[in-house]
Structure 1
Amino acid sequence: MGDDRERVADHRAPKESERSSTVFQGAKTAMRVDWLRMPGTDGEEVVPREYMEHPGASAALALDTDNRVLLLNQYRHATGHWLWELPAGVRDQEGEPPVRTAQRELSEEAGYRAEHWHQLADFFPSAGFSTERIHVFLARGLTELTEAEIGFERVHEEADMPMAWLPLEEARTAVLQGRLRNGATVIGILAAAAAAGDGFASLLPATEEVFAQ
């Protein structure tokens, strides 16, 4: 058997569209249809592919000195659930690097600043029908901020978000038992639990690169 370690890695190589149209335009997302030339039963054929355009999001997995994860309980209307989540938000500021979004959300949603940031996870949550890409960063060396330092008014869903601190190993168990179901939270906690094995030494420092690959 061959060694596939070098070959197995995602790469960007978009197919060229025959034509495209926007069928819905919202405040932060849009629905598009691209027509692509694909192999068919009798040669090539042009077929539609529908997908949501999304600016992407970033999340912060904040660990305190006792190795506890900071979680926020937020209402998500699309699911009808109150979900325990990492501080996170949409990358809706033009050109903002993913780590800056995570830093901003940790401050605005949870009221904390972190001294040390590392890359933890980078994934497409719904690659079959959405361009959304989520970056999760490990945040350590936490400092609680005053309201004046935060400088952000929480409204709508963010106005009522209870906070909890859960030991990392207990958070991992909660994921495996199906008690936590938010995608970025599940992936972030499992990645952090795995990285904790070597004291997070294998993680790369977070940079302000825009991750175009």
Structure 2
Amino acid sequence: MTIEDTPEEWEIRATTTPFRGAKTSVRTDRVVMPDGSEATRDYQVHPGSVAVLALDEEGRVLVVRQYRHPVRERLWEIPAGLLDVPGENPLHAARRELYEEAHVEAGDWRVLTDVYTTPGGCDEAVRIFLARDLSEAEGERFAVEHEEADMEVARVPVAELVRGVLAGDLHNNCLVVGVLALVAAERGEGLDALRPALAPWPARPFVA
């Protein structure tokens, strides 16, 4: 038995979009169940995202801390952002987010893991990159606004982040998944065995 996710699409009898926002929308589908009945499924339609676990030479992860209004908390996270353009190369987006949020660039990029954040209610797909060989970016810093204007940046040892995750002190999805995937990769075949940065991503196809 092969343990892997597989594509499948059930028949949709009707679909509406009761809400459209600036970046996301809400869709309502009437889906045919295996027994022939129909059920309504509401979900958020999302363009997709990228996140960057940036690891420096001292084994520290670059993290940012910002306010997240829906959960009313200030969270520690790894740099992340939306795929702004359909079909956008996720590596280009990841480089942009690392530059904009931390004014850092990286010389070595690999795919750490791909995840669906909340597949029961949202179609958001996130590609989490591992970035190494870090250096300060050239030029002026990106002009931030809104929540990012109050953002903190730090570099934290991996072991401290793992402790925080397992203690229930850190909750951001990409940070939790990224840090634990990093540790698993290090204990497995090693970081150099990770997929290349331009590995195919069926959830959000792109032109390399």
Q: TM-score normalised to the size of structure 2?
A: 0.92
Distance 2:85 2:102 in 1: 19
**1:116 correspondence with 2:111:** no
Equivalent residue, structure 1, for 2:167: 177
Aligned residue among 166, 178, 195 for 2:185: 195
SS of the aligned residue for 1:211 comes to: coil
Distance 2:199 2:3 in 1: 26
Equivalent residue, structure 1, for 2:152: 162
SS of the aligned residue for 1:138 comes to: strand
Aligned residue among 73, 78, 84 for 1:81: 73
Cα deviation for residue 208 of structure 1 reads 6.4
Distance 2:93 2:9 in 1: 26
- In structure 2, give the amino acid aligned to 1:186: V
Structure 2 unmatched ranges of 5 or more: none
SS of the aligned residue for 2:178 comes to: helix
Structure 1 unmatched ranges of 5 or more: none
Alignment check: 8 A CA contact 1:70 1:164 kept: yes
Cα deviation for residue 201 of structure 1 reads 2.9
Alignment check: 8 A CA contact 2:111 2:196 kept: yes
Cα deviation for residue 39 of structure 1 reads 3.8
- Residues paired across the two proteins, number: 203
- 1:179/1:158 CA distance change after superposition, 3 Å: same
Deviations along 1:5-59, whole A, 9 cap, x unmatched? xx2110122222111000100011111111111145xxx2122111110011100
Distance 1:209 1:77 in 2: 33
Equivalent residue, structure 1, for 2:10: 15
- In structure 1, give the amino acid aligned to 2:90: P
Distance 2:181 2:38 in 1: 40
Alignment check: 8 A CA contact 2:10 2:33 kept: no
Equivalent residue, structure 2, for 1:205: 196
Alignment check: 8 A CA contact 2:111 2:199 kept: no
SS of the aligned residue for 2:132 comes to: strand
Q: CA RMSD in A?
A: 1.6
- In structure 2, give the amino acid aligned to 1:181: H
Alignment check: 8 A CA contact 2:47 2:86 kept: no
- 1:208/1:156 CA distance change after superposition, 3 Å: farther
- 1:212/1:39 CA distance change after superposition, 3 Å: closer
Distance 1:39 1:191 in 2: 35
Equivalent residue, structure 2, for 1:46: 38
- In structure 2, give the amino acid aligned to 1:92: D
- In structure 2, give the amino acid aligned to 1:32: R
- In structure 2, give the amino acid aligned to 1:196: E
Distance 1:47 1:73 in 2: 40
Cα deviation for residue 95 of structure 1 reads 1.9
